[in-house]
């Protein structure tokens, strides 16, 4: 049964497509951040290890929010590596980078998620989808702040 929530189907579909990309980007960034938590070394080990744990925990919790919004709009949420790989704008890397490169990669990852989230706003606005707009605003705030903090560690 299709939802009758006051958002036209064409707008729901456009929002869904964007949210699926956001979910995939968030998952890839979560996985990268968790990987870095496990594998960071060097003089900033403790600082980065704890910071990465805070960040991957926040990303993990965000996954559910995005997936449940997709479901609320009447679509199945993607949930496989194959689906996420085809939807994400993030790139995987081979090996374990040095701590400074980890920070740079995470800045790039958060900025990619920001661009993905921002690209959904016109569809949410067009469809009068305040709930998705609110979710996106919250995600943007978190990713922009995190990117700023990561960039600050590189100066």
List, in order of start, the domains of the chain with CATH numbers: 18-153 (1.20.1260.10)
- The owner of tokens 């605003």 is 137
Predicted confidence (pLDDT) at residue 142 exceeds the cutoff of 90 = yes
Task: Sort 56 into a burial class: Cβ within 10 Å, 0-12 / 13-18 / 19+.
Answer: buried
User: What percent of the chain is predicted at pLDDT more than 90?
Assistant: 95
Interhelix angle for 45-72 vs 99-126, to 10°?
20
Grade residue 2 by pLDDT with cuts at 50, 70 and 90.
Answer: confident
Predicted confidence (pLDDT) at residue 71 exceeds the cutoff of 90 = yes
The whole-number average pLDDT for the span 61-72 is 98
User: pTM of the predicted model, to two decimals?
Assistant: 0.96
To the nearest 10°, report the CA torsion of 95, 99, 102, 107: -170
Among positive and negative, which fits the CA dihedral 22, 51, 147, 142? Answer: positive
C-alpha to C-alpha distance for 130 and 136, rounded to whole angstroms: 10
Grade residue 93 by pLDDT with cuts at 50, 70 and 90.
Answer: confident
125 by DSSP, 3-state: which?
helix
Average pLDDT in the chain:
97
Residue 133, pLDDT score: 98
Residue 49, pLDDT score: 98
């Amino acid at each position: 049964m299709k939802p009758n929530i006051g958002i036209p189907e064409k707008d729901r579909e456009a929002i869904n497509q964007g949210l699926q990309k956001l979910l995939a980007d968030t998952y890839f960034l979560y996985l990268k951040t968790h990987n870095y938590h496990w594998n960071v070394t060097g003089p900033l080990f403790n600082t980065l290890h704890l910071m990465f744990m805070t960040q991957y925990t926040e990303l993990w919790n965000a996954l559910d929010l995005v997936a449940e919004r997709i479901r609320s709009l009447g679509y199945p949420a993607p949930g496989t590596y194959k689906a996420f790989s085809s939807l994400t704008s993030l790139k995987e890397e081979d090996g374990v980078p040095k701590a400074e490169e980890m920070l740079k990669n995470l800045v790039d990852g958060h900025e990619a998620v920001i661009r993905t989230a921002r690209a959904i706003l016109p569809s949410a606005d067009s469809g009068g989808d305040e709930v998705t707009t609110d979710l996106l605003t919250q995600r943007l705030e978190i990713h922009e702040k995190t990117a700023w903090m990561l960039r600050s560690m590189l100066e």
